[in-house]
Structures are given as structure tokens and as C-alpha cells.
């Protein structure tokens, strides 16, 4: 395998060849452009590439990959730059390949409930377009208004509706992929069942741009639910909020969304968006946002009433029902902007943990204890319905976990707790650059060896997003 010391530099000859492939106006080597693509939403990291390239077609990407593979130049694929694991950072230099110009929805197949799209389409745009014909693409990450569907494929994103409908991988039927060699393949077929050899589609989903560059995506869709109801439940005890999540499912309910936001995070985001939609009182420690959806509004009302009755055994405040679309939108806006808000006030380190949902109270309790032990402030929020808790950390003088020995010690203790509770180190953000050092907590060396062998089979020269998920050996 190629080590970082042996990668070739991008010289003017390579730049001219890239310009010949995509056009001079889509190749950037100026300092401002390189700086703009040197970061995503991961902590405060900054890794400028040597050149930024913005191709428009599969064929152009194929030529770029062949050029870089022959010259042994690292290539970092990038979507909208909303990632939180550093998977789109060009920490090895080389070529930053942006998919932002591959931004067309190619076909909505109403008869077969499918859509064919390019990777640079904003997720919410895709959702809105299929909604116009009565269809539904459920995965909806909090950044859906800015993230690309290709990035969602790369990280196997989830979002609030994953609790009922599943994650991105559950909707991907087929992918067109450019391999590091420049070869172009389709990974599957546009069918709902496929038992033809190894499942390369599922292998690519969640591979964080380390195995190939996705250029076309075939997604299955489902009928759009006609109604949804939303309520907010304030809890005076954070752990009880976590316990209530498991209780709702044990009672036989499957909400379409079940989100937890602790009060410190809620106070921060409420100030940022200047909203009074959510009552914030001093005796509240957390809120649950509970949504149900379906095609019979009377059934949904009875379900909400039953959930409300179930929650009365906990120490809760007054339940808040969103009466109209505007109130629902405001509640979801508050939830979706939590990560942005807490980062702005110093909670720059985010960890994407996931445990069996019955273990949420133990995870919350353990994380708070670690904060006291290692002297950091912490806020918790996330997709409580599937046990996916986002943990945001603020430690004075420590904006990044990456490369910080003391913070790495804290995070290792946190991930060991997660593993002890039956969980793992990422539910939807991916491993990328910042969490790869903790992979040995949750995986045996045999697992990592198999992953490295897969990487080697796809990318023998180790040029495509090298050093993400794990270091090649």
C-alpha cells in the first residue's frame, strides 16, 4: 500500500490535465478556494487540498480518477461539507473532488416508486420533489436543507424518522460508482429483491468515500402518509425522559419521530432562533418531541392520547400539542438547529453514539459523570427512539478532539462506556478522521483486517480518501 510519504504532489502539469477534463473554470488552486474547502462541520479542523475540482459527469470523474491513480495522487470526495466526522477533509492534500455540480434529479418513477438522482442534490429538495407526486423518502438528517443525498449515502445517514422508517441503506437499490481505477460499475439492480452475489450496494453505502465515488443513485420510495401529529413533553428529570422512550415502545407504539433534547441545549437554540415555541422552565431537564404519522387522523389522535396517558406516571410538565403546520415547523426547526447553536457557543466536539434504547438512561448518566471527572461541560440530544444520542462537549481551551491527547483519553472512556452498554461509536455520522482511533474498542483485529482487505481490493494504491475509518497497513 502507498504511504503518505509516497503520494505525488499536484504540479502544474496535473492541474492542466484536470482543466482539460472538466474545463478551466472548474479547477481551483487559489488560496481562498482551497481554504473554503479545507473544513466541514467537524470541530474546528482545517486541511487545505492542493487543488479543488468540480466535475459535472460520471465520465469526467472517471478520467480524474484514472489520472490520479496513475500518478498516485490522493483524492478526497466531498458533498455539501456538512459532515461531522471529517470524512470529507483532505488531510493528505491532493485533489478535493466536489460533487456539487452533479445536482440533477434524473427520473421520478411513479409506477415503481423509485427515483434516480445524482449525488449533489440537496436532500430536502429531493424529498420535496417526490412529495409532489404523493411519494415519500423518509431519511431526513437534521441538515437536510443543506446536505447532499450523496453525502447521506456516504455516511448511511438517519435522522428523526429512522426510528420508524429506517436509515438511508434501507432505501438504496442501486448505485453507479466510479472506482479508484476510473472504472465505472453499477452495484445492483433497480429491483426490490436481489440475491445475486455479494451486496456491493450495501457495501458502498456507509463507506465514507473510501471505496468509490457515487455518481448516480436509485432509491426506493413509499407512499406519503397523509397526516402527522406532534407533541412536546417536558420532563423534570433527564433520566426519566430516557426511560420513557423505552416505555413507549414496550407499550406497542412506534412513533415516526422520538427526539430528546436536554434543557441546556434547548436554552441555547431557543436564543439563537429567537423562538418562544417551546416553554423553557427552570424545573425542566429535558424535552421529548414525539411524532406519529399515518393515513387515519382519528387513529393517530387515539395513539397520541394513549402515549400521553402512559407518560403521566413520570414527573412531567404540561404537554404541548402542535396545532398546525406552522407550529410543527417551528418545533422541528428548533430541534434541527441544535447542533449549529451549541457549536456556536463553544460545544465544538460532537460524538455520535448509539446504544440499545433501553440503555439511554445509563448512557446519559455515565456521560454526565465523565464530564465531572474530566472537567468538561456536556449537552445531550438526538434520536432517542433508536438509541442514537449526540453528545456535545465544551472544554475550555480544547476546541478539537483530533490530536488532543487529554481529550482522546476522555473520549476513549466514553466509547468504552458505550460499548459496555451494547452500543457502538457511530450511529449515522460515520467514523471518518476523528473517530478511527476508537475502532479497536468496538471491533476485533479480525474485523479491521477484513475491512482493510476490502479497501485494498477496491483501491490497491490507497488514493481514495486514504486514512478515513482506519489507517491502511
d(CA 135, CA 111): 11
* Backbone CA torsion sign across 450, 454, 457, 461: negative
Name which of 248-252, 276-280, 416-420 the model is least confident about: 276-280
Mean pLDDT throughout 98-123? 98
274 has a pLDDT exceeding 90:
no
User: What is the structure's pLDDT at 277?
Assistant: 67
d(CA 235, CA 410): 28
User: What is the structure's pLDDT at 417?
Assistant: 98
Partners of 291 in the β-ladder: 230, 257
Please name which of 398, 402, 350, 353 lies closest in space to residue 375, comparing C-alpha atoms.
398
What the block records as the C-alpha cell of 107 is: 427520473
Residue 361, CA atoms < 13 Å, CB-side half-sphere: 12
Name which of 20-29, 217-226, 231-240 the model is least confident about: 231-240
Name which of 49-58, 215-224, 264-273 the model is least confident about: 264-273
Mean pLDDT of the chain: 95
User: What is the structure's pLDDT at 146?
Assistant: 96
Q: Are 255 and 164 in contact (CB under 8 A)?
A: yes
389 has a pLDDT exceeding 80:
yes
User: What is the structure's pLDDT at 22?
Assistant: 98
Burial of 192 by CB count in 10 Å (0-12 exposed, 13-18 middle, 19+ buried)? exposed
d(CA 404, CA 393): 14
User: What is the structure's pLDDT at 5?
Assistant: 59
Mean pLDDT throughout 87-92? 98
4 has a pLDDT exceeding 60:
no
Q: Where does the pLDDT of residue 217 fall: very low under 50, low under 70, confident under 90, or very high at 90 and above? A: very high
Mean pLDDT throughout 159-173? 97
pTM of the model: 0.95
473 has a pLDDT exceeding 80:
no
Q: Are 157 and 136 in contact (CB under 8 A)?
A: no
2 has a pLDDT exceeding 60:
no
306 has a pLDDT exceeding 80:
yes
- Per-residue pLDDT tens over the stretch 395-407: 999 999 999 999 9
- Per-residue pLDDT tens over the stretch 113-160: 999 999 999 999 999 999 999 999 999 999 999 999 999 999 999 999
Please name which of 82, 58, 98 lies closest in space to residue 340, comparing C-alpha atoms.
82
What the block records as the C-alpha cell of 91 is: 488531510
Burial of 125 by CB count in 10 Å (0-12 exposed, 13-18 middle, 19+ buried)? middle
d(CA 64, CA 56): 12
Q: Where does the pLDDT of residue 266 fall: very low under 50, low under 70, confident under 90, or very high at 90 and above? A: confident
DSSP strands (E only) in 100-212: 105-109, 114-117, 135-136, 172-178, 184-186
Q: Are 414 and 352 in contact (CB under 8 A)?
A: no
434 has a pLDDT exceeding 90:
yes
d(CA 383, CA 377): 21
**Phi/psi at 403 (5° precision):** 80, 5
**Phi/psi at 356 (5° precision):** -55, 135
Beta strand 51-53 with 95-98: parallel, antiparallel or unpaired? parallel
Residue found by looking up cell 431557543 in the block = 270
What the block records as the C-alpha cell of 90 is: 483532505
By residue count, the chain amounts to 473
Partners of 398 in the β-ladder: 395
Residue 382, phi-psi category: left (phi > 0), alpha (psi -120 to 50), beta (remainder): left
Angle among Cα 27, 28, 33 to the nearest 5 degrees reads 145
**Phi/psi at 114 (5° precision):** -140, 160
90 has a pLDDT exceeding 70:
yes
Amino acid at each position: 500500500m502507498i504511504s503518505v510519504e509516497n503520494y505525488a504532489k499536484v504540479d502544474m502539469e496535473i492541474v492542466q490535465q484536470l482543466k482539460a477534463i472538466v474545463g478551466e473554470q472548474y479547477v481551483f488552486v487559489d488560496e481562498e478556494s482551497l481554504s473554503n474547502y479545507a473544513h466541514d462541520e467537524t470541530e474546528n479542523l482545517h486541511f487545505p487540498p492542493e487543488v479543488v475540482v468540480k466535475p459535472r459527469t460520471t465520465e469526467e470523474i472517471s478520467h480524474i480518477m484514472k489520472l490520479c491513480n496513475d500518478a498516485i495522487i490522493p483524492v478526497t470526495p466531498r458533498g455539501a461539507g456538512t459532515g461531522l466526522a471529517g470524512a470529507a477533509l483532505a488531510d493528505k492534500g491532493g485533489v478535493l473532488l466536489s460533487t456539487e455540480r452533479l445536482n440533477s434529479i434524473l427520473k421520478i418513477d411513479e409506477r415503481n416508486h423509485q427515483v434516480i438522482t445524482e449525488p449533489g442534490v440537496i436532500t430536502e429538495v429531493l424529498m420535496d420533489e417526490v412529495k409532489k407526486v404523493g411519494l415519500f423518502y423518509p431519511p431526513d438528517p437534521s441538515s437536510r436543507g443543506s446536505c447532499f443525498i450523496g453525502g447521506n449515502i456516504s455516511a448511511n445517514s438517519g435522522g428523526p424518522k429512522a426510528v420508524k422508517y429506517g436509515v438511508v441503506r434501507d432505501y438504496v437499490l442501486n448505485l453507479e460508482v466510479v472506482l479508484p481505477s476510473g472504472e465505472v460499475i453499477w452495484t445492483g439492480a433497480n429491483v426490490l429483491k436481489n440475491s445475486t452475489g455479494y451486496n456491493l450496494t450495501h457495501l458502498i453505502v456507509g463507506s465514507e468515500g473510501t471505496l468509490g465515488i457515487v455518481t448516480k443513485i436509485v432509491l426506493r420510495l413509499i407512499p406519503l402518509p397523509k397526516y402527522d401529529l406532534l407533541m412536546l413533553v417536558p420532563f423534570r428529570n433527564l433520566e426519566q425522559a430516557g426511560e420513557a422512550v423505552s416505555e413507549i415502545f414496550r407499550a406497542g407504539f412506534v412513533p415516526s419521530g422520538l427526539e430528546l433534547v436536554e434543557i441546556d441545549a434547548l436554552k441555547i437554540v431557543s436564543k439563537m432562533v429567537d423562538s418562544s415555541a417551546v416553554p423553557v422552565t427552570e424545573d425542566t431537564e429535558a424535552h421529548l418531541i414525539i411524532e406519529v404519522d399515518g393515513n387515519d387522523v382519528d387513529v393517530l389522535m387515539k395513539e397520541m392520547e394513549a402515549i400521553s396517558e402512559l407518560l403521566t406516571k413520570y414527573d412531567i410538565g404540561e404537554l404541548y400539542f402542535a396545532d398546525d403546520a406552522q407550529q410543527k415547523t417551528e418545533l422541528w426547526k428548533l430541534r434541527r438547529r441544535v447542533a449549529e447553536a451549541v457549536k456556536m457557543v463553544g460545544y465544538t466536539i460532537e460524538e455520535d453514539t448509539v446504544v440499545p434504547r433501553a440503555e439511554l438512561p445509563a448512557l446519559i448518566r455515565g456521560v454526565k459523570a465523565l464530564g465531572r471527572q474530566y472537567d468538561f461541560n456536556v449537552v445531550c440530544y438526538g434520536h432517542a427512539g433508536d438509541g442514537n444520542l449526540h453528545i456535545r462537549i465544551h472544554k475550555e481551551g480544547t476546541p478539537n478532539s483530533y490530536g488532543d491527547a487529554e481529550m482522546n483519553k476522555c473520549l476513549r472512556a466514553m466509547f468504552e462506556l458505550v460499548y459496555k452498554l451494547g452500543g457502538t461509536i457511530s450511529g449515522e455520522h460515520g467514523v471518518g478522521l476523528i473517530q478511527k482511533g476508537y475502532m479497536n474498542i468496538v471491533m476485533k483485529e479480525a474485523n479491521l483486517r477484513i475491512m482493510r482487505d476490502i479497501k485494498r481490493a477496491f483501491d490497491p494504491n490507497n488514493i481514495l480518501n486514504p486514512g478515513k475509518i482506519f489507517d491502511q497497513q
